[in-house]
Homo-oligomer: A and B are copies of this chain.
């Protein structure tokens, strides 16, 4: 007996090792060439919305196409539509982490393609993840209580939003188990106006009443860190109204300007009220491998969970969000599933971690590999040098900013990001020269004009294709964010980026003057 010969003739070889080798090498060469030439592309893509549907057919082909044809199209149609995140002239947002070992780890992960939902389905995937999370926790000098070796534990999530959904669900259920499900409408969560938007999204998803989401205003007086006094006041007022404080998300290194919430006093207050504290150090967490930055997360020992994205500043490609918890069983209580078709002896023995119960999804990629390859390929010393190198480059950029009297650093630098802008005085001078309607407008108008001019400068810099930066608008000040974090960035690129800024500042200021004349 056998399957019909009619079908047999049509059987494709989906994974011929020789063909895998040939095509795999082709892609490696394609990417190596891409990195070699990456500076030739404008950093920000110049395509218009809808460009791709004009280049490609509107349905899949009937018959197979060769990898050569496809690579040609990638070169022709996809690359021009990319904003080049690995370009050394990319200084926008926070970079996505990259490095050779990080990429190799991704390849191995996809190549093995195991779905390590539980220990049994691929023990190495689970055990390496637990091991590497302890390694990394030690590198960051996290309290032992967050490590497996100290009865806590770490897990790799896709991103911060997932990490928050998981911990927030656990915190929520812990209270609801005690007070009953109806209390869900009384639960309140707290962050500052600088907290990442993922927190609000996560709170909405887990069913926190949007009216019970507190966005506490920050100011210059605390350098836009969350003020413990403000937190306490808001909590008191919530309690007075019969609400229940549930969860605080404190941030070390905010997205807009890398501000730092003071963990110790914030955690102490939260602990007083029995709240869960999550520390989101998505970007800045990587720097904790250096003692000089580690002190910024002092107080984390009072928190319940801590996460940072190795896919930002720790040389690891998307996605790799590292989450540690003091009490992983809280997670498991909320997120575990136990369907018959996954039952196995190892799980029953309770001697293993089943990571499906530590995250949202069932399937999970073997992401620990890339993190492990990064940690081993560089080692502690080189990883520290990497962080210090980027901070040094940012400092260098800051010095260039300060040297040019027309500019100022808008917010204090903590890590490898500089927020700068054309100084109001340069704009005002400019406006005076232009004989503008100065007297008819007040300070607010001036501030807006300064912001507008800086926005125009940023637009011009990005349109040049020679550098890509983004902006922040904090405390009424529009600043240009210059973040150093790419795998290919060197001093030359930083210096060149600054030249691009200066050139465009000349023309932006001149054209503003011209417009007013």
A65 to chain B, nearest CB (A): 5
What 1/0 mask marks residues of chain A from 102 to 143 whose CB sits below 8 Å from any chain B CB? 011011101111110001111111011001001110110000
Copies in the complex: 2
A50: chain B residues at CB < 8 Å are 127, 351
A499 to chain B, nearest CB (A): 13
Task: Decide if A510 is an interface residue (CB 8 Å cutoff).
Answer: no
Task: Decide if A151 is an interface residue (CB 8 Å cutoff).
Answer: no
What 1/0 mask marks residues of chain A from 355 to 398 whose CB sits below 8 Å from any chain B CB? 00000111111000100010111111110011011001101100
Task: Decide if A446 is an interface residue (CB 8 Å cutoff).
Answer: no
**Given A1-B399, A158-B361, also A122-B12 (CB < 8 A):** no
State the CA gap A470–B58 with chains docked (Å).
40
Q: B15, A99: Cβ atoms under 8 Å?
A: yes
Q: A31, B108: Cβ atoms under 8 Å?
A: yes
Closest to A315 in B: B14
Q: B123, A47: Cβ atoms under 8 Å?
A: yes
Q: B49, A204: Cβ atoms under 8 Å?
A: no
Determine which residue in A2, A106, A341 has the highest number of CB atoms from chain B within 10 A of its CB, and name it: A341
Q: A381, B62: Cβ atoms under 8 Å?
A: yes
Q: B113, A86: Cβ atoms under 8 Å?
A: yes
State the CA gap A53–B135 with chains docked (Å).
11
**Given A256-B341, A379-B61, A403-B1, also A198-B11 (CB < 8 A):** no
Q: How large is the interface on A (under 10, 10 to 19, 20 to 34, 35 or more residues)?
A: 35 or more
Set B34, B113, B165: member contacting A317, Cβ < 8 A? B113
A255: chain B residues at CB < 8 Å are 339, 341
Task: Decide if A201 is an interface residue (CB 8 Å cutoff).
Answer: yes
Q: B472, A67: Cβ atoms under 8 Å?
A: no
**Given A24-B104, A64-B382, A389-B11, also A83-B159 (CB < 8 A):** no
Closest to A490 in B: B11
Set B14, B17, B339: member contacting A386, Cβ < 8 A? B14
**Given A62-B380, A255-B341, A341-B470, also A112-B124 (CB < 8 A):** no
Closest to A334 in B: B204
Q: B1, A378: Cβ atoms under 8 Å?
A: no
A338: chain B residues at CB < 8 Å are 197
Q: B346, A49: Cβ atoms under 8 Å?
A: yes
State the CA gap A362–B77 with chains docked (Å).
25
Determine which residue in A14, A35, A80, A115 has the highest number of CB atoms from chain B within 10 A of its CB, and name it: A14
A426: chain B residues at CB < 8 Å are none
Set B32, B139, B360: member contacting A24, Cβ < 8 A? B32
State the CA gap A352–B49 with chains docked (Å).
6
Task: Decide if A237 is an interface residue (CB 8 Å cutoff).
Answer: no
Task: Decide if A515 is an interface residue (CB 8 Å cutoff).
Answer: no
Q: B138, A59: Cβ atoms under 8 Å?
A: yes
Q: B124, A81: Cβ atoms under 8 Å?
A: yes
A70 to chain B, nearest CB (A): 5
Q: B123, A83: Cβ atoms under 8 Å?
A: yes
**Given A14-B386, A20-B31, A64-B379, also A127-B52 (CB < 8 A):** yes
Closest to A470 in B: B341
What 1/0 mask marks residues of chain A from 49 to 76 whose CB sits below 8 Å from any chain B CB? 1111100101111111101011000100
Q: B111, A381: Cβ atoms under 8 Å?
A: no
A97 to chain B, nearest CB (A): 8
Q: B64, A10: Cβ atoms under 8 Å?
A: no
Closest to A159 in B: B361
Q: A382, B12: Cβ atoms under 8 Å?
A: yes
Task: Decide if A429 is an interface residue (CB 8 Å cutoff).
Answer: no
Q: B83, A52: Cβ atoms under 8 Å?
A: no
Ranked nearest first, the 6 interchain pairs of A and B with the lowest CB-CB distance are A207-B207, A81-B124, A24-B28, A52-B127, A197-B337, A14-B487
28 sample A-B contacts, Cβ–Cβ < 8 Å, listed by A number? A3-B393, A14-B386, A15-B35, A15-B86, A17-B33, A20-B35, A25-B28, A27-B104, A27-B111, A31-B107, A50-B127, A50-B351, A58-B149, A60-B136, A62-B380, A62-B381, A82-B124, A97-B113, A106-B110, A113-B318, A160-B361, A162-B361, A196-B362, A197-B337, A198-B337, A198-B362, A205-B206, A360-B360
